Structure 1
C-alpha cells in the first residue's frame, strides 16, 4: 500500500469531491489535529458559536448544497449537536458529523479522561448517535480507514441522512494510500429494473381511464433528478397539484395547476371536495407526520392513491419493491409527456391558488396582522430566493406565501426544534455563496429568514457568524412578546410563555457589526411594511439586514394556530368569569 496522504487529508479531499466547500463546527482538544487539514484541502472553516448551532448550520448547508459537514469534539461537543443531527435525520438532510475523539491507546486502557463519564467507557456516545444517523464508523485500523470513510459517505448520499464518523486524535496524521480517491462515491441507480418497469406499466394503465386525477408532492425525495421529473409531470399533465410543508418550493408554484400546500381540514372547501372525489391521487415522497398532514387530515385515501416512494411503488395496495423513485420518476415523466389523457378533467375545476396581497388593498395606518402579512411579504420575493420560517407564527404563516419560480423555502416539518432556522439560514446563505463562487460569481444569494422573538432568543449567537462571514441574510424578527404558538396551545396568559424583552435591532452591533453597518428597520403598520419592502438597502443590500415587526401576542395565522387559539380562549374564559 502506497502511503502518500494522511487520513485527515483523505477525508477532506473526499468531502471536496462531493461538493462541500465549507466545514462547520467548534474546535476542541480532540479535534484540533483534524482542523489543521481543512484549509490546505481548499475548504473554508466556519467556526460556530456552539455545536448545536453548528449542527443546524450544517443541516441548512446540506439542504442547498447536497451535503454538509460538522466537526465537534468527543462527548460534550457531539452531544451538544445531537439535537440538530436528529432533526436532520428526520427531515432527510445529509450531514457528515465528524468527531475528534481520544487516542486509541487511552481508549484501550480505559483511561478516565475528561469529556467522558469517568468510567473508561468510550462507546456510549457513538451508541447514542446510532439512533439518529444512518451509518457510523470509528477509524481504528489504518488498513480499513479509507474504506470506512467511503462507506459512511456513500450511505449519507444514498439515504440523504446524517452519518457519524469518530476519528481518534492519533489517527488524523496517519498515512494511507490515496488510491481509493479514484472511486466515484456518487449514488447512481442502475437499470433497467424489472419490478420498476412493471410498476410504471401498472401506473400508466390506471391513468388511462381516470377522470379526476390529482397530484400530491411530498418532501421525502429531494434528489435533483426526481425533482426535475416531478416538475415535468406536473407541467405536461396539467392535473391539479398540491404540495406539503416539506415539499413547498420543489414544484413551480407559478404554474396554473399548482395550488400550494394541501391543508386538509383547513383547506378551501373546493380543494377538500376534489381530494375526496378524486379517482386517482399520484403521491410522491410521502412524509406523513402530524404537522406535515395538518393532524392527519391531509392524508390521501390509500384506496385511490399511487405512492411513489424512495425505494418502492405502492399501487392501490399492491407493492412493487426495488422500484426506486430515481428510476421510476424520470421514465414516468417521459411517458406522460408523450400521452394525452382525454378523459381527465375535461373542465378544469375551480380551485383557489396562493396569491400575493397588493399593498393598495391594505390600510397604511392599520397595524399589521397575521392573517395578511405573509401574503404581503410575498411582494418582496424573486427568483432564486431561499426563505426560511422558524417554528411558530412564521413557520405556519409562510405556508400561504406564493413563491416565484426557482425560489426555495424551508419550513418546520416534523422535528420542530425552535430556533433552528437562524443558524440554518447561516448555512443556507453560505451554501448559496459557495455555489455562486464555484459557478464564476454570478447568481442570486439572497437568504430571507422569518423568525419569532422566542425562537430568535434560542440561537441568537449565530448572528455573529453571519456578520463575521459577511453573508447576505435578511432577518425579519416577529416581536409578539413571547411564545405565541405555545399560548395558542395552552397557557394563553401564563408566565411560562413569556420571554425577556430584548432590543433586537441592537443585536448586530453587540455581535460584532460595526456601528451603522447593518441596515435595520421597524414595522408596526402596513405602511411601514410597504416602505421597508421598497427600501433598496434592505431588499438589495449586502450582508446582514434586520427588520423587527411588532404584532399582537394573541394574533395567529389562519389555520391550525388560529383554531388552537380560539379553543384556548374558550378554555381560559371559563376560569376568568
Structure 2
C-alpha cells in the first residue's frame, strides 16, 4: 500500500492547492480534531465571533481570491451560517463550507445527540443546505471520500457557488491515498460545441454589425464568470456606449472614453434612458437583474433587443438560448470581431450625459469648509482618496447607492451586493477581503463604507480585524438609523431607529492594542472642512492599521434622485412584479 494521509489533511491540502490560505469559522466539539490538520496543510485558522459572521467573512475572502473555506460545527453552527451561505449562493461567491458532525454510528442508530432536533434525523441540516449549494460531499466512506471531495471542490470553482462538505468526527483520521494529491483538480470550464459556437457567433456578430443604436450593459457576474478582461477589451474595441448596473460597478475601466457610469434609469445621478430606451441592441454581460440592482427593473433592457451573455448560456432576443460557456465564447468573439464592420457613427451617443469629473475625481477644495457633508456629494469627493489596487466595499443601504457615483482608478475592485442584501453582511466581508488582500500582497488598501444600522448588526467582527491586525478603513455613514427604511415606510417610526452608539470607542472596547504594535486612528467629521483635514493626512493615507471615521449626515439624507426609487420600492411591496425580470 502506498503512502497515505488522513482525510482532514487531504481535504485541506486540496483547498491549499486551489489558493485558500485561511479558513474562517468557529470551533465546536465535532470539528476540533479536524482543525489540527490546518497548520500542516499550510492553512491559517481565522476565528470569528460567530458562525454567521464567519460565513460573511468567507464570502468577502472568496470575492477577492476566487475561493474560500468556512468551518462550523453540526447543527447550531451550520444553521447560524446558512444565511451567509445563501447570500453567497445568490451572488455567486465560491465558499467551501466544511461541517464537522457526529460519528457515523450516531447516524446509523439515530441517536439523540446534542445540536440535533432530538428526533434521530441527523441529515435534516444537510438536506437544508441542498437548496443553497451546488454540490455536497458526505464523507462517510474512506474509499469514496477523496473522489467526493475532488468533485465537490471542482464544482465550487466551476460554478462559482458554495458547496457543502460533511465530515463525521470519526472520519477525520481515516487514511486515504496521498498519491491522488499529485493530480491537480480539473477546474477548467467545459469546452463548447464547436458547430454551435460558430453558429451563435455568426448570429451575434450579425446583430452587432447591423445595429444602429447599440450599447453595452455590464453587471456583477462578469467577475465570477472570469471575463473581466474580455469585457473590457470588447468595450474598448467596439467603442459602443457602455454602462454598468450597480452590482457591476468597478468592472469596466473608467478611463475608457465610451464608459459613462452606472445606469440607474431615471433614479441615478445621470439619466441615460433617452438613449437606452431607443436602442436597437443591448449587449448584456453577467446579469443578475434583481429589483434592487435595476431600480425596480426600470434599467432592464427590452428582451427583443438584448443579447445576454451568461456563464453557461448565450440568450438572443426573447426566446433563443444556447448552452455555451461564456469564457471560451468571449475569446472567440474578440478574435472574430472585425472593427471595420462596426457602426462607425452613432449620433445619439453624442448627447449622452457624462460627469465632467469622471476622468479625475474632484477634491474638496470648492466646498465650504463649514458646510455639512451630504450624500449627493460625499461619494464623488471621497473618490479622490482612492488608489489603484484598492478594494472598496459598500454595505447595503445608503453606501450601496452612493457607491454608484464613485470614480474608480484602474485596477480597483468594488464589492457590493445585488440581491440578498443581508444587513451586516459587509463588515465581516471586509475582514475577509482585507485578509485576502494581505495574502495577495498587491499593495492596495481595503476601504469600507457602512451605515450605522448595518454596523450594529455585526460590530463584533471589528474585534477580528483588530485581533489579526488587518489594514482596514471604515467610514461609518452615521445618519441615525435605517434611512432607507424610513423613506420607504415609517419616516418617524421607532422601528427604524437604532441605539446611539459611541462608535469611535469601539476599537478600545474590542481590544485594540496601545503598545504601538497596531496603528488605530479614529476621527469624527460632519463638515467638508473636517473631512478634508482627515483625508489630507499622510498618516491616514498610508493604509496601515485601522482607520475609523464617523461621518455624520442628516437623518433623512439620501442621494437626491434616489428618493423616487425608495418611494417606488414602497409601492412595489404592495404589487406583484409579474414578469418584469
C-alpha displacement of 1:268: 6.5
Matching of residues 39-438 of structure 1 within 5 Å: 39-181=39-181, 182-191=183-192, 193-223=194-224, 225-267=226-268, 271-317=272-318, 319-336=320-337, 339-345=340-346, 348-354=349-355, 355=358, 356-436=361-441
Please report how far the alpha carbon of residue 225 of structure 1 lies from its aligned counterpart in structure 2 after TM superposition: 4.6
Contact 1:86 1:132 (C-alpha < 8 Å) held by counterparts = yes
Conserved in 2, the CA contact under 8 Å of 1:474 and 1:538? Answer: no
Aligned-pair CA distance for 1:89: 0.4
Are positions 1:450 and 2:449 aligned together?
yes
* Gapped regions of structure 2 (runs ≥ 5): 571-581
SS at match of 2:220: coil
1:521-532 equivalent positions in 2, closer than 5 A: 521-532=523-534
Deviation sequence 1:149-174 (CA, Å, 0-9, x none):
01111111111110111100000111
> Per-residue CA shift, 1:184-210, capped at 9, x if unaligned?
332233256221221111111122222
| Aligned-pair CA distance for 1:183 | 3.7
Q: Distance in 1 between matches of 2:265 and 2:343?
A: 28
More off after superposition, 293-302 vs 347-356: 347-356
Alpha-carbon contact 1:133-1:164 (below 8 Å) kept = yes
* 1:255 Cα offset (Å): 1.2
Decide whether aligned partners of structure 1 residues 566 and 63 sit closer, same or farther in structure 2, where only a CA change above 3 A counts. closer
Which has the higher mean CA deviation after the structures are superposed, 36-45 or 252-261? 252-261
| C-alpha deviation, 1:284, in angstroms | 1.3
Tell me the number of residue pairs that the alignment of Structure 1 and Structure 2 aligns. 562
Cα distance, 1:371 vs. partner? 1.1
Q: Report how far residue 567 of structure 1 moved.
A: 10
Matched position secondary structure for 2:351? coil
Alpha-carbon distance in 1 for matches of 2:471, 2:157:
28
Please give the alpha-carbon distance, in whole angstroms, between the structure 2 residues aligned to 1:263 and 1:508.
Answer: 37
Q: What is the Cα deviation at residue 361 of structure 1?
A: 2.3
Tell me the CA shift for residue 180 of structure 1: 2.4
Counterpart contact for 2:136–2:165, Cα < 8 Å:
yes
Which residue in the other structure is 2:472 paired with?
A: 473
Shift in CA distance, 566/73, structure 1 to aligned 2, threshold 3 Å: closer
In the aligned structure 1, how far is the partner of 2:270 from the partner of 2:31? 56
Closer/same/farther in 2, CA of residues 337 and 75 from structure 1, 3 Å limit: farther
| Cα 1:166–1:499 shift into 2, 3 Å | same
Deviation for aligned residue 1:235: 0.8
Q: Please state whether the residue corresponding to 1:208 is helix, strand or coil.
A: helix
- The secondary structure found in structure 2 opposite 1:290 is coil
Aligned-partner Cα distance in 2 for 1:112–1:177: 34
Deviation, 1:536, is 1.8
CA distance in 2, matches of 1:432, 1:399: 23
Cα offsets for 1:515-536 (capped at 9, x unmatched):
3841111111001111111112
Aligned residues of 2:91 and 2:417 also touching (Cα < 8 A): no
CA spacing shift, 1:505–1:189, aligned 2, 3 Å: same
Structure 1, unaligned runs of 5 or more: 437-442, 569-577
TM-aligned CA distance change 1:245 to 1:303, over 3 Å: same
Counterpart Cα distance in 1 of 2:161 and 2:393:
20
Question: In structure 1, what is the Cα distance between the partners aligned to 2:62 and 2:286?
Answer: 19
Secondary structure (helix, strand or coil) at the match of 1:201 reads helix
- Paired with 1:190 and 1:565, the residues of 2 have a C-alpha distance of 46
Q: 1:575 matched to which residue of 2?
A: none
CA distance in 2, matches of 1:534, 1:180: 54
Q: Is the 8 A contact 2:383 2:406 kept in 1?
A: yes
Shift of 1:269: 7.2
2:106 and 2:32 map into 1 onto residues whose CA distance is: 17
Q: Identify the range of structure 1 (91-100 vs 404-413) with the bigger mean alpha-carbon deviation.
A: 404-413
Post-superposition CA distance 1:102-159 (Å, at most 9, x none):
0001221111111011121101101111111111121011110001101111111111
Matched position secondary structure for 1:214: strand
Show CA shifts across 1:262-282 (max 9, x none): 112324676101101212111
Query: Secondary structure of 2:98's match?
Result: strand
Q: 2:521 aligns with which of 516, 519, 522?
A: 519
Q: Deviations over 1:309-352 (max 9, x none)?
A: 11111222352422111111111122236544244426742322
Change (3 A) 1:211 1:386: same
CA contact (8 A) 1:294 1:560 kept: no
Mapped partners of 2:27, 2:428: distance in 1: 17
Tell me how large the CA RMSD over aligned residues is: 1.8
Say whether the 8 Å CA contact 1:429–1:445 is kept in structure 2: no
2:579 counterpart residue number:
none
Q: Structure 1 length as normaliser, TM-score? A: 0.94
Tell me if structure 2 keeps the 8 A contact 1:270–1:350. Answer: no
